[in-house]
Structure 1
Amino acid sequence: MPSDPTPPSPGLDAAAALFEWYAAMGVDVTLAEAPLDRFQESARAKAAAESQAARRQSPPQPEARRPLPAAEFPPPGAPARPAAASSQTAQVPTEATVMQARAAAQSAKTLDELKALIQAFDGCNLKLTAKNTVFADGNPAAKLMLVGEAPGRDEDIAGRPFVGRSGQLLDRMLDAIGYSRGHNAYIANVIYWRPPGNRDPSDVEIAICRPFILRQIELIDPALIVFLGAQPAKALLGGEAVKQGINKLRGRWCELEIGGKRFKALPTFHPAYLLRTPIKKREAWRDFLTAKLFLENGGMLPPA
């Protein structure tokens, strides 16, 4: 009777089961002959990463300065040579700067000369951060002149006053009374360069630009000036206007004297304020109608 075959060794089954269990647990490499300290390996990797990061953050070492030749050293007792002046360096405005602006403005005989002088003028630090000089827009022969405060972002990019949302509203307001910047209206600002972040211009910045806008008004010779907002009225009228807000100033006739000549002026709300406060549009509309009647009556004040 044939003998039964030898059964498989139980040790092989156990080893195969163990390998299957290792595979199920994610073990995919065999152990080395020598033990490996994984904690020490991690510590070395961390130290290497920190050392590399420190090298990246450390400032570069200054290069050794080349000694100057003997001829380049000034003689003993000689005054130090001044640094080269840069036209792009901000300067602290002084009264001399205002006088310089005043002399430059008075020297302009035409609007083109005035525009060129303003573009070349470096006494106002706002010019350093602005993209463009925003001089004016509209018809220089117009009898209606509107004066705002300062250019905004859109105006700085375009180089023209009132081209953003407030400018679009202003165009609609002018159109409602039969006026437009391309035909019978002229628009300018008290400040010719955009203040950074659309902040309010400082008193010094206004004082520097004031001679230019006064000369611009004098050359335009308008029959009526409409101040858009309280700031241009305060900047040009001074006196009691400085202490009053736009709600008290608007709709009240004023006079601006330049070179012995008096110009009629009428303050009203700025279009940007009307966008934020639509309820005030009715009062602004009343002011524009008043301006229309004044111009149509040959410069005569309408009845109260």
Structure 2
Amino acid sequence: MTKLVKNRVLNQLNYLKSFGYEYHESLDFFSNNIKNAKLPNNINDLSISVSHCYLCELSKCRKNILFGYGNTNSDIMFISDEPSNSEDELGSFYVGKSGELLIKMIENVLNITKEDVYYTTLVKCKSTNGLNNSNIETCHDYLLKQIELIKPKLIVALGEKTYSYLLKNGDNFSQSRGKELVFNGISLIATFSPTFLLRNPSSKKDAYYDMLKIKNYMESLN
């Protein structure tokens, strides 16, 4: 359709509108409701769908797909940015030094096991040259569907990248960390990622206090 024809069509539509004709509002084909409409409404079926995903370049370099792990009826959901090298290598969460540290954070502070929480990542495949927003956007619908199906009462965002992507508010991570925030109507508390803490052990004390706040929040639900 040429520009001239488009202008003629628009002029005709505007002319008819002046006589009271109404037109359906334009559809947002990228809205979450439309994009999620065809995703399975069962967590196991969703996992199978993700296991056959080849929508971005991460699928070309991954060794394994890491969908999620833990209690699908849990009130608390941990979200990290991406699987670690060890997790990609072994096809399992909570492996390697970062996985071991996360277990300690959960078990030693929250006094529950890793099986009591649900854990997943923004993307389901390990990147080789660092995550970019395109990779995360491709996986975003999977994550939203996971959250919809798990129905957590609290989301724990592990790391600045996870926090920044989910909230998109531009607030400083160091100032927002440990505070009760909201993502899609669900309470969210951000803290340091285990990977960051391994590189910056001096921040473990702050992470400990964040986990105490998470524990207090969870206890307040009972």
Q: SS of the counterpart of 1:239?
A: coil
Q: SS of the counterpart of 1:118?
A: helix
Please tell me the residue identity of whatever aligns with 2:94.
Answer: F
| Partners of 2:111 and 2:141 in 1: CA distance | 31
Distance 1:99 1:253, change over 3 A: closer
- 1:280 lines up with 2:203 in the alignment: yes
Distance 1:215 1:205, change over 3 A: same
Matches within 5 A, 1:226-265: 226-241=156-171, 244=172, 246-257=173-184, 262-265=185-188
Superposed displacement of residue 161, structure 1: 2.8
Superposed displacement of residue 158, structure 1: 2.0
Distance 1:276 1:223, change over 3 A: same
User: What does residue 269 of structure 1 align with?
Assistant: 192
| Partners of 1:174 and 1:159 in 2: CA distance | 21
| Partners of 1:266 and 1:114 in 2: CA distance | 26
TM-score for the superposition, normalised by structure 1:
0.59
Q: Which runs of 4+ in 1 moved over 2 A?
A: 102-107
Distance 1:133 1:99, change over 3 A: farther
User: What does residue 302 of structure 1 align with?
Assistant: none
Query: What 5-or-longer segments of structure 1 have no aligned partner?
Result: 1-95, 300-304
Q: SS of the counterpart of 2:156?
A: strand
TM-score for the superposition, normalised by structure 2:
0.80
Matches within 5 A, 1:65-214: 103=35, 106-176=38-108, 177-182=110-115, 184-196=116-128, 199-214=129-144
Counting matched residue pairs gives: 193
| Partners of 2:197 and 2:45 in 1: CA distance | 35
Instruction: Indicate the structure (1 or 2) with the bigger Cα radius of gyration.
Output: 1
Contact 1:135 1:160 in 2 (8 A): no
Which has the bigger relative contact order, CA under 8 A and spacing at least 6?
A: 2
What is the identity percentage for the equivalent residue pairs of Structure 1 and Structure 2?
28
- 1:223 lines up with 2:153 in the alignment: yes
Distance 1:105 1:269, change over 3 A: farther
Distance 1:218 1:104, change over 3 A: closer
Contact 2:156 2:188 in 1 (8 A): yes
Contact 2:36 2:145 in 1 (8 A): no
